[in-house]
Chains A and B, each alone.
Chain A
């Protein structure tokens, strides 16, 4: 049984009438990379903020890094690296000044060396004296990432860390995260990218404040019990239009030159597409992708739960 880094139950946060986070239980083991997914406004940021003591939970209990998640947030903060969704370092400080500030705040030993190493890894050694405010969006993101890891935290809470980051840098980032995880670092990463979700050890999917599903990628897909057909042919847009209104079809989504048609009742779906299985269309049953599953989950939510 590996050590559990995050073990919280019933976490709830209300803003007035709105319950932004509703009774979420989450366990993440040491060295695990947990992907945190959900549509906009589903409560990901709010949940992460509660974990590191930035918001007071209205209900819930549990432990984070062995400390009480409600009462011992001061201790938790020391060992957590939190990257905010919006850039929140000082735009009127230079890159090196920002890193230095963070390193001082966490009382990092051998501060200068740590800052220099961080700059080196970031590839910003030459531009160290540039103001953070003058960096491009992607570079700001990369600076923030470097800054929140400078004190070698045991737990990383990353809120959409790669939003706006180019593919090469994203690959490097994931490479680094996997290396760190192998060495025992735990990660909770909020993301909207499916390819990133697939790189996580485990996923937690929330919608409108509630935890809808969790597990490995395969488990999440299997759990959704979704059947998907792929179809190629001419005028797919019209075809999609016709399919969407058919009983048993829950989604028809275009993927380039193909259309993914899915539903959670395999029999009903087969009957629905039967009349359309004629030339020039070519049909093929395929595995449901993570994206099919997530969109399916989102559609399942009652309309009144949306904000």
Chain B
């Protein structure tokens, strides 16, 4: 009763009016409140695909006979495989897989048709990039069924006997890079990208706004400083922090989870440098745009969501719709994930890494230029 008597409706109304007014003033928060659920709806509704189809596939067709082609069109018709490349040699296949250009290479050997007709049970060789077991699992399952049934039409009448018990064709699948389909192998290197993205953007995101909020900006601006000095001064200390995180994740991944580090560690550290700087630059750009620390945080969260969902961290990149893949390609983390997984699991070297390194560097550079341009030299 006492509680109720102390409660004043008038004061509540006053509070409500004040809160609504403030909300209306803060356009960014308002936008975020709408934007985040919308984004989540779109992402969870359309992008997340537990059954990724249309995975990039390369073909190595050495067989001249009709059965080889029939086989290929059956594979394509399953909807899981998009033939994006025709290759001539094993070497090319190797490269395409290492770079992540294709998820699969389907290899139909030279004597396929002849051996089939002879009843020799020829083999189709499928090499799969199994770094991310979730991406390949369903496609390979479908392939097994398909190979068993594919030639049912062709093998009628006198050829029916060839169908045999195990099917007329042997399917040899080589899951590459992560043959035991251990998810940690995929997750741990991915976490490196996610953790760096989160912390690096957050740290510098608060940098300039904090100065403004505490009033120290007035002093800083009254001193003879250049924008780049201030910005770089806020970025550089955190590169070290980023490296500490990389170190911790590598050590934990190797000793705790047994994730192999097949590639070149110095190369990994070089790539991490570019990636860390790009994220810090993105954070500092937010910092120059946001009016206060809260806004800067909100902008950071605006990036976190796609970074987790569209980068290939949580869901197979190739399983996403094309527009989502384009969005993902813009994000530094998408490229960094490929680099880290490539170096750690595939043993990729400089030649493969460079394809994904320059987009990160470009992103960082653009962010930095925007930050320098946006940096306000006056209190206006």
Interface residues, chain A, with chain B CB atoms under 8 Å away = 49, 52-56, 74, 77-78, 80, 82, 84, 86-91, 102, 105-106
A-facing mask of B196-230, CB < 8 A → 1, else 0?
00000000000000000011111101111100000
A53-B378, A55-B380, A56-B380 known; A106+B218 contact, CB < 8 A? no
Report which of B219, B224, B225 forms a contact with A88, defined as CB distance below 8 A: B219
Report Cα–Cα, A82/B222, bound state, in Å.
Answer: 7
Report Cα–Cα, A87/B218, bound state, in Å.
Answer: 10
Nearest-neighbour CB distance to chain B for A3, whole angstroms, equals 22
What A residues does B217 contact at CB under 8 A?
88
Q: Is the pair B223, A77 in contact by a Cβ cutoff of 8 Å?
A: yes
What B residues does A77 contact at CB under 8 A?
222-224
Q: Is B379 an interface residue (CB 8 A)?
A: yes
Nearest-neighbour CB distance to chain A for B235, whole angstroms, equals 18
Report which of B214, B218, B378, B379 forms a contact with A91, defined as CB distance below 8 A: B214
Residue of A nearest to B379 (CB): A54
A contact face: mostly helix, strand, loop, or mixed: loop
Q: Is the pair A49, B379 in contact by a Cβ cutoff of 8 Å?
A: yes
Report which of A49, A56, A78, A84 forms a contact with B224, defined as CB distance below 8 A: A78
Interface residues, chain B, with chain A CB atoms under 8 Å away = 214-219, 221-225, 377-380
Report which of B214, B222, B225, B378 forms a contact with A56, defined as CB distance below 8 A: B378
Residue of B nearest to A104 (CB): B223
Report Cα–Cα, A52/B221, bound state, in Å.
Answer: 9
Nearest-neighbour CB distance to chain A for B27, whole angstroms, equals 18
Residue of A nearest to B214 (CB): A91
Report Cα–Cα, A88/B214, bound state, in Å.
Answer: 7
Report Cα–Cα, A53/B223, bound state, in Å.
Answer: 10
Report Cα–Cα, A183/B379, bound state, in Å.
Answer: 32
Residue of B nearest to A80 (CB): B222
Q: Which are the 9 A-B pairs with shortest beta-carbon distances?
A: A88-B219, A82-B222, A77-B224, A105-B223, A78-B224, A88-B215, A88-B218, A84-B218, A88-B216
A49-B379, A56-B378 known; A105+B224 contact, CB < 8 A? yes
Report Cα–Cα, A84/B380, bound state, in Å.
Answer: 16
What A residues does B378 contact at CB under 8 A?
53-56
Report Cα–Cα, A52/B377, bound state, in Å.
Answer: 12
What A residues does B214 contact at CB under 8 A?
88, 91
Report Cα–Cα, A78/B380, bound state, in Å.
Answer: 21
Q: Is the pair B223, A106 in contact by a Cβ cutoff of 8 Å?
A: yes
Nearest-neighbour CB distance to chain B for A190, whole angstroms, equals 14
Report Cα–Cα, A91/B213, bound state, in Å.
Answer: 13
Nearest-neighbour CB distance to chain A for B287, whole angstroms, equals 17
What B residues does A87 contact at CB under 8 A?
215
